[in-house]
Chain A
């Protein structure tokens, strides 16, 4: 049985993958695209909060919100001026979007390298200290990650299920044509959802900035992991994104503890098995 520290670590990993995957699935369910730049919005969120906190002196929670707004706005611009234009209504549309968002990975990483430099940056001064629990201890930063994830998930649940906007998003996701007939602008909903998805990624990056180091390349692994979480949970399922994130976080931590660097091989094998046995994932609709 792995020690308690490994399970706590699994919980932290789960939180981050869950938040990232949730944003990706939200975008997929409305726009029908996988935003490969999702990890770079995570990275940009971490940089925004870093500078807002260290250079401007804005309190960390407010800096996180600013990060969500700024990067969410950037996501809307990407949707409006790039994705919308290349997502032509043909078989090639999805391919163009894939290529465009993949190109943006390198664009954003390069731009961040030039603007912010390559050296690791840290926010260790935010929530310093550890909670000693006897045989192990947990940093307050990690406790903040769990609390943040809970708040975000509850907020997203309320927004999607208790507000008119949420109703419109769900309607547009289920029946875009019918939603349009009821006066819902699917175009506007697409922009909004892209903004929310990118804001979620940015805030995930923000909350992780004090836990890890910040550099222009930190978005790659969270992006891959959230993609795996989506595959496990089921593409297009918000519940699946949450469950997939939880499973992946714990599996990643426990397997790495047991098998060291072979953990990646096991993780990818696990995902391939899921694709073979249940290609729609745990919560996805059966493939027709």
Chain B
């Protein structure tokens, strides 16, 4: 009897062990695969204030994005931002692109807003690296040849955004006399012909001036604007110069002359510190806060992500992070890239990803955009931030007006 008990016990144990061995394995959490994304910007030199300020938010946004990541098939992916200074110069741009492409082995460089697109594209394009960048004087219709740069994606078109800003200004101040436009001679180029033609077409009254780089004394220019009858002066970029202009026009007695600039406020307190509280009141800037947009629709989940990233950035820097300027750039580009990868079903075949971008519809932190394909600078791009403006009231930044970015042909 004992013998049969032993045999039965052995059989039961064997069956149990076989059962355990054959049972499905407990699901292990699959680690997301990390994809490196290059970000090159001005981290040194006169434009570095923007580069340094934005970096904090972008890194925070990537952290927020990575909480869920995105999926291609069953695999979850995360992004890792690789930052390289390009000094906002052509040679710096080329060096940064080489570092990212050949050193860090990135296949995507996004969020580019500095003025060195040609030198960066010259490195990324032959390497089949996708570059998402702004437009500018380097990339106006007729100059940029899309056939030579199939891996360049133009977003945030500088000229169109400036035009939208001007139209938003006119909407905010319908009784304006004349709009003054101020730009540095460094920004002179064919892009301005395009902008001014559009303003002419829209019936905007304007007077334009250029100033030499390094100008701190704007008294002669303020006098010229006053004599030309301008009651609003809008500075193309150039935060320090806009601050100096606002301060000096106040001191000269032109207190009714409104002053603004493209590019968002870094923080209202910086303007108050330079201009003085009275002179800073009413100062206008771009405002890329999707939670306040009235005419541009942004998905609530992206608004939530932006706010979470701003909160995170505030905690990192130990004081409130209020700069909204980056929201329509790197995060938009990141979302387009992730969605294009999902559509293409690949994270490393840049030809397939470009194919998905062309003609695709993408939801971003600056609205939803359908890439028209062939005619936008020859690039499949029609996205950008709206011409939304804010103004300084007390020591706060408040919404002023908005002119949506219209899809380009």
Which residues on the A side are within 8 Å of B141 (C-beta)?
none
Q: A123-B273, A213-B216, A256-B221 are in contact. List 10 more A-B contacts (CB 8 A).
A: A120-B240, A120-B270, A120-B273, A120-B274, A124-B273, A124-B279, A130-B250, A137-B251, A213-B244, A257-B224
A84 at the interface (CB under 8 A from B): no
Report if A115 contacts B (CB, 8 A): no
> Which residues of B from 233 to 254 have beta carbons under 8 Å from A?
239-240, 243-244, 247, 250-253
B216 touches A253 (CB 8 A): no
A-B contact pairs, 23 of them (CB 8 A): A6-B223, A113-B44, A118-B49, A119-B270, A122-B243, A122-B275, A124-B247, A124-B272, A124-B273, A132-B253, A139-B251, A141-B251, A142-B251, A212-B244, A213-B243, A213-B274, A218-B216, A253-B219, A257-B219, A257-B224, A260-B211, A261-B209, A261-B212
B191 interfacial by beta-carbon distance below 8 Å? no
B217 contacts the other chain (CB 8 A): yes
Main secondary structure of the interface of A (DSSP, over half): mixed
**Assuming the A-B contacts A139-B251, A215-B46, A215-B240, are A260 and B210 also in contact, with contact meaning beta carbons closer than 8 angstroms in the complex?**
yes
**Cross-chain contact of A113 among B48, B209, B220, B272 (Cβ < 8 A):** B48
- Closest CB of chain A to B256's CB: distance in Å? 13
B276 engages A221 (CB within 8 Å)? no
What are the residues of chain B within 8 A of A124 when measuring CB–CB?
Answer: 247, 272-277, 279
Per the bound structure, the CA–CA distance linking A137 and B214 in Å amounts to 25
The answer for the CA separation of A215 and B47 in the assembled complex, in Å, is 11
Closest Cβ neighbor of B250 among chain A residues: A130
Which A115-174 residues have C-beta < 8 A from chain B? 117-125, 128, 130, 132, 136-139, 141-142
Using CB atoms and an 8 Å cutoff, list the residues of chain B in contact with chain A: 44, 46, 48-49, 52-53, 185, 209-212, 214-217, 219-221, 223-224, 239-240, 243-244, 247, 250-253, 266, 270, 272-277, 279
- CA gap between A110 and B44 in the complex, in Å: 8
Q: How far is the CA of A141 from the CA of B244 in the complex (A)?
A: 14
Residues of A within 8 A of B211 (CB): 260-261
B272's nearest neighbour on chain A, judged by CB, is A124
Q: How far apart are the CA atoms of A215 and B44 in the complex, in Å?
A: 12
The distance in angstroms between the C-alpha atoms of A118 and B214, with both chains bound, is 15
Complex CA gap A3/B211 in Å reads 20
Q: Do A221 and B219 touch (CB < 8 A)? A: no
